[in-house]
Every structure is written in C-alpha cells, then in structure tokens.
Amino acid sequence: MANRSKIPRPAASFVSAAARKRSARAGCAVPAQGRLANGPPIAVIDIGSNSIRLVIYEGLARSPTPIFNERVLAGLGREVQSTRLLPADAVDKALAALGRFRALADSAGVERLWAVATAACRDAQNGRAFIAAAERICRAKVDVLSGKREARYAALGVVSGVHKPDGIVGDLGGGSLELTEVCGRRVREGVTLPLGGLALQDVSTRSIKKAEKIVRKELAGVRALDAGAGRTFYAVGGTWRALARLHMWQVGYPLHVMHGYAIAAREALEFSGLVHRVDPEILSRIEVVADARRPLLAYAALVLEHVVRIAKPRDIVVSALGVREGLLYSLLGSEERAKDPLIAAAGDLNVLRSRSPAHGQELGDWTDRFMASSGLDETADEKRLRYDELSPQLRELASPRMIDRARVLGCAMRVAYLASAGMPGVLPHVRMTVDHGRLVLELEGEFKPLAGERLFNRLRQLARLIGRQPVMETG
C-alpha cells in the first residue's frame, strides 16, 4: 500500500445548527468535528524473515486506516535453515531500519506501538540477541510469535478485512508457511511449516527440483488442507501478493487493487506452474515485481501450486491484511469485531470527508425503504455494496445486473441529494416508495417547500429506469 498523507478533515461549520437539531430529533449522532474518536495514531512494526515493515494507523478501529507504510527487505531469514544464524549484514540493515521506524513513529505522534517478530527470529540461535537490540532501538517489547500464534494472527487479519471468509488462510513469509481454517469469525488452530521463500531457497541450495521434493514432503498429510475442497484459499504474504500482481498485469486486470483479487483455482494452478518452471525475467511485465522479490517468485509459485493440488479450493483470493491487522483486530471488543469491515471503513471515511456524517446512515435507511417497496430483487452482497461507493472502473468487471442496479441506486441518490442537500435530519421525513405502479416522493409539513421542477426531473429519471409513474405528493 502506498504511503499517503493523512486525509484532511472538514471543519465543523459544514454541519448547520438546523441540521444538528433535525439529526438529534431523528436520533442520529453528528460529531462536533469531522474526526474519528480513535485516539492518537498507533503503529505496528513487523519483523519478518524477509521484510521489516512499519505501518502507522490513524487509530485503533474496526477498519484501521494506514497513514504511513514503509518496508525494508532485510532478508533476516536467508541463511537460518543452513547456518541457524541471522546473517550479520541483514542484522545491521534491520537494526538501521528499526531506528528509522522508531523516529518516524515519534514524528507521527504515535503513543502505542506494537512490535512482533516471526520465523527467522524464533528459529535463529542469535535471534534472542537481535531481539534485545531491537527492543532497545524500538523502545518497546518485541513479541516473538510462535508458529501457532502467527497462524492465528494471520487468519484474524483475513477475518478483519474479508466479509464472511470461508476456507483456508495461507500466510507465506520468508521463513514459514502458516495454514489456518476460517469460517466467518471462527478460527481453528493453525499449523506452521518451514516453507517460506527464503527458507526453501536456503535449504534447497537454490534448486527448484530439490525445493519441490521438500514441498511435497512437508505438505503430505497436512490435515489443515483437507478442509479446502470447494472453498476459498486466502493468500497472505508479500511474495504471494507479488505473484498475484504479476498475474494481474499478465491478464490486463483493470484495477490496481490487490486486496480481494481473485483467481480461479485452475488458472492459479497453470500460472504458478509456469512461473516456477521458467526464468521469471522472461515473463512479461516482470518489472511490476520488486527486484528483491523476483528470486523468491518461483518458490512462492511452487508452494501455491502444490497447495492448490492438495486442497482443491474453488479460488484463490489475495488478502492485503495479515498478522499486523490480525493483532489489532484481536485488541477490539466483541461488538467492534462483529461489525462489517466494509461498512465500518465507509463510515469512517464518511466522518472524515462528508459534509454531514449522519446523512450517510440516513441515506442507507432511505434506500432500504425504496428497494423494499420497488419489487427489485437484491442479494445480501448487493445491499452491502449499496452502503459503499464503488470505483467507476468496476464497470469493466461488473455484470449487466450489477450495472443496472448501480444506475437505479445512482438515480435514487440524486433524488436524495436534491431533497436534502446532503444534510442530516431530512431523509427520515421524506419517503420515496413504489406503490401500485407509481414512484411516490412524499414531501409533507415543513418539507413541502422542497418541491420543485429540478427535484421532480430527478424523480422522473429514476421512475423511467424502473418502469413506474413519478408522483410528488405535498400533503
């Protein structure tokens, strides 16, 4: 995820006193200022076997917003399997990166910082000494995760960012592969295997044939894969994301959004087989993968191919969220964890950027009534997306049905905007429903003056789309 500045917050004056009164009457809370009540920024430092990363988040929330993200590929785990030691040059590079990360966190006003370390640090004989030095630099305890805890946090990261996940989470790092079954918010105990890209490269002495024998041996009889048939395999980890990015460019996928990118299992099997059998440098668009990650692509592809062959999933879905987000998710209360991540994220963005945060929820409720009365069938996922804003580029991926629903919803929102000016406390009193072949907009009491030719024209556009007669009633 690219670094980006904090989103500017709108001034409190965007919400008028009258709107506040109407919103209070309607039972909607309007923040005094357009900001999230999540406290000061927080940060996580993730000391992995290949990369070390700092992510600063705006606050602890159901869908935490990253405001800074930096990665250094130190390669701590590149010799651990053969020497049982973290390489000296990798240690120096990692400690220098941690010093910068601590300074960046201080500059950002971070008050709570968590640091975790994974396979390389727990397996290396000099791992404890490195962790002691890292703690002095970070001025924070570094939690060296066991394989099972790493598996759990990775799975919770998927739970935190995927709507009702169902399948197996596979977190491929530089040193290890964690496999965990998930169903909704239920996470089973995971397993850890020494199949990370750097570990495989090290123990196989850079031989793909030797690596393939190791992968087959380690994955044989892994019970966690037995539950994968016909479900989704969630791919977590930087090298698998790099592999998916290469596939995305190969097929000309129109969006540059990695999280949620899906590949059919058969296609993933063919593509991963291709990648680990040829020199990656001859693949088209290889430049979209960082130089330091290219040598590991073949090992990541090899592991993915064998996982797909054994587990027989329906598809592979990339998750940009993993251990870091899983850790933060585990710190939330049960009520927060139960929230839909997409709706929570849209709600937070609404608070940060909208004229009136309460209007967004009112708009959802208002379109609920319209859809319920319209006779248009709507799936649970379509309703969920109705509460969020989609990129125009989705037209290239959307079905005719989804495009039709988007047109209807867009026209309905244009009616809502002209009726309310985007302010809270109006839509609960302005009903729009379908009744006996008519699309009826009711403007009564103090809202009668809202009636006008422009508003009626918007109503007529919507009525034409759904095959109804527009009617504006003013009591």
- pLDDT single digits (tens) 151-186: 999 999 999 999 999 999 999 999 999 999 999 999
Write down the pLDDT at residue 335. 94
In the structure, what pLDDT confidence band is assigned to residue 77 with cuts at 50, 70 and 90? very high
CA distance linking residue 287 with residue 4, whole number of Å:
23
Residue 225 clears pLDDT 90, i.e. is over it = yes
Tally of CB atoms within 10 A around 191: 17
CA distance linking residue 375 with residue 365, whole number of Å:
17
CA–CA distances in Å: residue 174 to residues 84, 213, 261, 325, 466:
15, 18, 22, 19, 54
Between the ranges 209-213, 247-251, 386-390, where is the mean pLDDT highest? 209-213
CA distance linking residue 69 with residue 146, whole number of Å:
25
CA distance linking residue 53 with residue 72, whole number of Å:
6
CA distance linking residue 138 with residue 140, whole number of Å:
5
In the structure, what pLDDT confidence band is assigned to residue 74 with cuts at 50, 70 and 90? very high
Write down the pLDDT at residue 405. 81
Residue 350 clears pLDDT 80, i.e. is over it = no
CB-neighbour burial class of residue 222 (10 A; exposed 0-12, middle 13-18, buried 19+): middle
Backbone angles phi, psi at 226, to 5 degrees: -65, -25
* Lowest mean pLDDT, pick from 204-218, 318-332, 360-374, 411-425: 360-374
Q: Are 54 and 45 in contact (CB under 8 A)?
A: yes
In the structure, what pLDDT confidence band is assigned to residue 323 with cuts at 50, 70 and 90? very high
Q: Is 391 helix (H, G, I), strand (E, B) or coil?
A: coil
Q: Which domains does the chain have, with CATH numbers?
A: 31-144 (3.30.420.40), 148-321 (3.30.420.150), 337-473 (1.10.3210.10)
Backbone angles phi, psi at 72, to 5 degrees: -125, 125
395-416 average pLDDT score: 80
Give the DSSP letter of residue 355. Answer: S
Residue 4 clears pLDDT 60, i.e. is over it = no
105-120 average pLDDT score: 94
